[in-house]
Every structure is written in structure tokens, then in C-alpha cells.
Amino acid sequence: MRNTLEEEVDVSGLFGPAAVGAVAVRNRFAMAPLSRYAARSGVPAPELGEFYRRRAAGGVGLIISEGIAVGEGGGADGSGVAGIQEGRAEAGWREIVAAVHTEGVPIFAQLMHGGAGVVESERTVADYVAAAGQARRAGFDGIEIHGAHGMLPARAGFVAELVGAVAEAVGPAVPIGYRFSQWEVGRYDERMARTPAALEAVLRPLVEAGVAVFHPSTRRFDEPEFPELGGAGGELGLAGWTKVLTGRPVITVGSIGLSKVGEAAMSLRPLVRRFERGEFDIAAVGRAVLANPDFVELVRDGRTGELVPYDEDKHKSTLE
């Protein structure tokens, strides 16, 4: 059974241009970071070039790479995670970036530490700085630091130091993104910040350190973040609150393009509604883009009857 989308939903606003720092984005859709675990000894598999290129050709305005390991080993641990600090890994990413650029689409490197609860140290900062330099030499247009799901400590001072060091190393032409979440893996009801004021205390130092775009990770983008507040504030999602509190561009993410349980059709109505309210600038699509490399093109052209539902068994590890 194929997905459908209500024809009366006007998605045209999502096809206007955007900007992330100095990087122009042709529409409001990004490919979310999707780990493929296809690296060999930390070197990204060559077929990843075509995998990413197909999504660029399919209409997304921005691609965020899967998590690239920084630090000791740089992914060369048999996990299938790619690194970048070793010469062959950098060369592999250079080819992938070039493939994406043939479609006129920018690509950001998502840098992540090899394990949650990274040690706060000068060495950790130096590892990120080195990896960011490698990513820039490989041709990436921007850097996203993965701080969500427990990947980095919540202590804003350390993260701000890291962001500032990376920003200084790559220069003002390379925007720095920061991905964060309220929860850690397996602890989905947890909230790092229980009030907007607490969230602002975490995010404001990162603005001052040089974050150009925030990428708040949620399981479902349309869920209110602080519903207990009531009123308009109680309706805002995490992306909306992030934009209000930081003034920076925001990428929303979380089950975009997927059918909800009990619904036969995928709907972008909630996404359009929140975009029109100014709650986000770019929507990152993950699983729906795995199932449909041309997801954005099909939505743009009104061919949503051709959308294939995401199938965990079929699409989880796809490199097609």
C-alpha cells in the first residue's frame, strides 16, 4: 500500500530558499543524518557516494551526513562507523561530497564522539577541531556537532568551548550547527531542561560561541515541548522554543513524512502549520527519505501517491 497526502495541503512555502550562515539552501527540506554503518576500518564505503547523490537528486536542499567519528580510532573499530581523520577516510568523504555537489546541493559533516558521555578535556576539543579541519578539506560546506542523545555532556560551558574552537578553526564561511536533544537513548521521557528558562541557559552560550543553526532532535516534531505552560507557549515544539530563545535558524526533525498509527495517509499538514507559524526554517526528513530518495520531488510535484511507506526490514540498512 502506498502513502498518500491530502491534496489540499499547500506545501509551496516549504519550497522557498533558505540560508544557513553563508550557505544557500534551495528549499526547506534536508536529509537527516542516517547512520549506514557501511564503513570499513573507518573508511566510508564508496557506494555511499551514490546513496547521498540520489537523495540530492531527489530534491532535498541540504544533506547532513551520518555521524562521523572523531577521537582515538576515528571509527576504525569494526562498528561500521566512518571516521575522517585518517587519510583514506578523508579521501573517501571527498568523493562522497563531490558526488553530492554534482547535484548542486550542500552537505554538512556531522561530527560525533565515539561514545556517549565523552570525557571533558582539551584532547576532546582538539579531536573535534582536527576532524572539522579534515571535513573542510574534504569539501564539506558546514559542520554539525552531534550533542544529542547523550553524545556530549549537557554542561553548556564545555560545549560552548568546543563550538568556539571549531568555529575559529574553520572560519566564518563555514557554518556550525549543533544537534541536541532533551533525552538520552532509551530515556525518552527525560527532559534536560524542564523550563524554557533552563533551555535558554543551555542554548544561549552556544549562540555566543558561534552556532549558526540548531538541530533539536525529537522523536515526533509535532509534539509540544512544554505543554504544561498552556496557551501559545504550551503549543510550541522544541524547534519552536529553540528559535524563540536563540533567534538562530532551526532544523526540525522527528517522524516527518511517516504515517501515524491508525492513519492510512501521511500528512504534512502539521509541518506546514508549524512552518507558517515561524517555528522552524528547515525540516529534516529521515526514514521517509530512506524509503523514497525522491521524497521531496514527489511532494513538490504533487505525486504523493507514489510514495512508498518506510519498512524497517527493507530500508533500515539500505544503501540504494
Per-residue pLDDT tens digits for 171-203: 999 999 999 999 877 777 788 999 999 999 999
Which residues form the domain of 63? Answer: 12-308
Digit-coded pLDDT (tens) for 225-252? 999 999 999 999 999 999 999 999 999 9
Please report the pLDDT score of residue 50 as a whole number: 98
Mean pLDDT over the full length of the chain = 92
Supply the CATH number for residue 218's domain.
3.20.20.70
Angle at 78 (CA atoms; ends 76, 84), nearest 5 degrees: 30
Cell of 316: 533500515
Q: In terms of C-beta density within 10 A (0-12 exposed, 13-18 middle, 19 or more buried), how is residue 125 classed?
A: middle
222 inside domain: yes
The answer, yes or no, to whether residue 150 has pLDDT greater than 90, is no
The answer, yes or no, to whether residue 88 has pLDDT greater than 60, is yes
In whole angstroms, give the CA distance from residue 301 to residue 181.
Answer: 33
118 inside domain: yes
316 inside domain: no
319 inside domain: no
Stated pTM of the model: 0.94
Residue 140 C-beta-side C-alpha neighbours within 13 Å:
29
Please report the pLDDT score of residue 1 as a whole number: 40
290 inside domain: yes
Rounded to 5 degrees, what are φ and ψ at 69? -70, 135
Digit-coded pLDDT (tens) for 204-219? 999 999 999 999 999 9
Domains of the chain: total = 1
The answer, yes or no, to whether residue 163 has pLDDT greater than 60, is yes
Taking phi first (over 0 means left), then psi (-120 to 50 degrees means alpha), and beta for anything else, what does residue 101 get?
alpha
3 inside domain: no
Task: Tell me the average pLDDT across 262-282.
Answer: 86
136 inside domain: yes
- Yes or no: say if 108 and 30 are a contact pair by the CB < 8 Å rule: no
Cell of 156: 553548556
Sign of the C-alpha dihedral computed for residues 44, 307, 18 and 159 taken in this order: negative
5 inside domain: no
